[in-house]
Amino acid sequence: MIKIAIVGTGNVSHHLNKAISKANGLTVVQIINSRSYIQENTTDLPDIYIIAVSDNAINSVAKQLKNTKSLVVHTSGSISMHALPERVRRGVFYPLQTFSKQSEIDFKMVPLCLEVEKQDDLFLLKKLASALSNSVYDTSSEQRKSIHLAAVFVNNFTNHLYQIGNEICAENRVPFEILKPLIIETAKKIESLAPIEAQTGPAKRNDTKTVERHLNQLKNSNLKEIYTLLTKSIQNTYGKKL
Amino acid sequence: MIKIAIVGTGNVSHHLNKAISKANGLTVVQIINSRSYIQENTTDLPDIYIIAVSDNAINSVAKQLKNTKSLVVHTSGSISMHALPERVRRGVFYPLQTFSKQSEIDFKMVPLCLEVEKQDDLFLLKKLASALSNSVYDTSSEQRKSIHLAAVFVNNFTNHLYQIGNEICAENRVPFEILKPLIIETAKKIESLAPIEAQTGPAKRNDTKTVERHLNQLKNSNLKEIYTLLTKSIQNTYGKKL
């Protein structure tokens, strides 16, 4: 049985706790509020501390664990393992997913990116990860940071494009609902097709008339700029010039 | 029984034909290659011609139908109804979805945007649409053009962001597979949450350190530019400045 202490009480902590509770061979022995002082549970010492707090808080929270014998991992995609205390057995356990308390997550499908300082600790961390998910990756720091950067494009920026779609609908008194089947299909399409194959639209087919009409429709200069830049980028990808 | 002739043999025609064949009260009496001459099927005259050809071809293809008594509609999101012959009963039947031959589409879920020149024709077009989909909208030309523009943001541009994610992964020898659960979840999240609520990430929380690190990671000036512009746009949406 792997004993786990989770530091933090946000979305990642919430989903992690739920997934650990359901998994075989894992148990949560402590959930620690990141604002309170971390007192080691000496009667039921955790094998692993999972620091699931915001990026900025990792360093100060983890400092309190500088004398622990347990493995200490954080869950951030972009923070160095070295933000954890120096003399501790340290590592990273980065679940690549967007968590919110409102939506259920099938943790078995969440890719987990693992990193350890000492190779000896990889066995334990992998055992934990494999009990939780079918999708476990050993990643270097560089790879993890790249994955986090790629995630910003496909999640944060994509959601912002949804937001822009929503704005355009609202301005024209069209319910945003109308775009939802397209949004889902766009995401599902790349399960069987590489994005470069799935690309469609006026930019891809060099349809300058439609591009021009769209730019005339857009009143907001910020949206014009985004439209122009992404259109140019698609054109360049396919070797055409506007 | 509504008799339908489909002009064009591309993706829209393919999925439309499949959906019509399955629907009650509809039948396809002709499928016409847009490159061949349109000969009216006088023994089994269609009630509706659906011109499912590329935007640029609509005008020249539809010209051949200038004497028909049938309703003539095109399927484009961005082309005016007036691209169809003047003296004909004309309209628009715009299915808001991305179609490719490889992936199955549940046509019942495809939003259909309808437009007719003469209100008398709305009944017939609506009857056709309702037999095919649970999601039928009367839209003005302006609304349809806005929907098409919004679709470019949430489909074409989003797919391009997936492509960028793919590139970043490839450069760092990470399988693109790793991003797919996140991509699907990002799309699914907005079924229950407005995009403005679903937004996360360094731009939203004004985490300038992470933004700076990401910009340093990006070597490609085009990607730097896209990252900067979308980050700025998210910041502005949430009233913060970098």
Q: Which helix (H) or strand (E) holds A67?
A: none
Q: Is A134 an interface residue toward B (CB < 8 Å)? A: no
| Co-location of A91 and A8 in the same domain | yes
Domain end (from B139, B156, B175): B139
Residues spanned by the domain of A73: 2-139
Across the interface, do A159 and B198 touch by the CB < 8 Å criterion?
yes
β-strand partners of B115 = B92
| Co-location of B163 and B80 in the same domain | no
Beta carbons within 10 angstroms of residue A213's beta carbon = 16
Asked if B170 and B103 count as a contact pair (C-beta separation under 8 A), the reply is: no
CA atoms within 13 Å, Cβ hemisphere of A101: 5
Q: Which of A183, A165, A161 is nearest to B97 (CA)?
A: A183
Instruction: Kindly state whether residue A220 falls inside one of the protein's structural domains.
Output: yes
pLDDT at A104 (0 to 100): 85
Site from A11, A98, A191, A209 to mutate, B interface, most B CB atoms within 10 angstroms: A98
Q: Answer with the residue of higher pLDDT: B85 or A241.
A: B85
| Co-location of B93 and B133 in the same domain | yes
Ranges A87-101, A226-240, B37-51, B57-71: which has the least confidence: B37-51
| Co-location of A11 and A84 in the same domain | yes
| Co-location of A110 and A161 in the same domain | no
Collect contacts of B54-57 with beta carbons under 8 A, ≥24 apart. Answer: B54/B10, B55/A207, B55/A210, B55/B79, B56/A207
CATH number at B177 reads 1.10.1040.20
Instruction: Kindly state whether residue A14 falls inside one of the protein's structural domains.
Output: yes
Tens of pLDDT, residue by residue over B208-233, are: 999 999 999 999 999 999 999 999 99
* Alpha carbons A45 and A111: distance in angstroms, whole number: 27
| Co-location of A112 and A226 in the same domain | no
Chain A CA closest to residue B108 = A181
Across the interface, do B237 and A151 touch by the CB < 8 Å criterion?
no
Domain end (from A96, A119, A139): A139
| Co-location of A113 and A207 in the same domain | no
Token pair of A127 as six digits:
């055992």
| Co-location of B132 and B163 in the same domain | no
pLDDT at B2 (0 to 100): 97
| Co-location of B60 and B111 in the same domain | yes
CATH number at B23 reads 3.40.50.720
pLDDT at B241 (0 to 100): 54
- Kindly indicate the confidence band of residue B167, based on its pLDDT and cuts at 50, 70 and 90: very high
Provide the sign of the torsion angle of the four alpha carbons A95, A100, A106, A109, taken in this order. Answer: negative
Instruction: Kindly state whether residue B228 falls inside one of the protein's structural domains.
Output: yes
Instruction: Kindly state whether residue A192 falls inside one of the protein's structural domains.
Output: yes
Instruction: Kindly state whether residue A209 falls inside one of the protein's structural domains.
Output: yes
* A106 min Cα distance to partner chain B (Å): 10
Instruction: Kindly state whether residue B242 falls inside one of the protein's structural domains.
Output: no
Chain B CA closest to residue A171 = B146
Nearest-CB residue to B100 (from A155, A189, A202): A189
Q: Which helix (H) or strand (E) holds B163?
A: helix B158-171
For chain A, residues with pLDDT lower than 70 are 240-242
Site from A54, A113, A157 to mutate, B interface, most B CB atoms within 10 angstroms: A157
| Co-location of A155 and A105 in the same domain | no
Q: Is A206 an interface residue toward B (CB < 8 Å)? A: no
**A 75-94 residues inside an 8 A Cβ radius of B:** 78
Domain count, chain A: 2
Domain end (from B89, B120, B139): B139
pLDDT at B240 (0 to 100): 64
Average pLDDT rounded to a whole number, residues B160-166: 98
Nearest-CB residue to A186 (from B158, B176, B180): B158
Chain B CA closest to residue A186 = B155
pTM for this structure?
0.93
| Co-location of B112 and B7 in the same domain | yes
pLDDT at A40 (0 to 100): 78
Instruction: Kindly state whether residue A242 falls inside one of the protein's structural domains.
Output: no
Across the interface, do B96 and A178 touch by the CB < 8 Å criterion?
yes
Instruction: Kindly state whether residue B225 falls inside one of the protein's structural domains.
Output: yes
- Kindly indicate the confidence band of residue B242, based on its pLDDT and cuts at 50, 70 and 90: very low
| Residue numbers in B near A155 (CB within 8 A) | 182-183, 186, 200-201
* B48 min Cα distance to partner chain A (Å): 25
| Co-location of A165 and A75 in the same domain | no
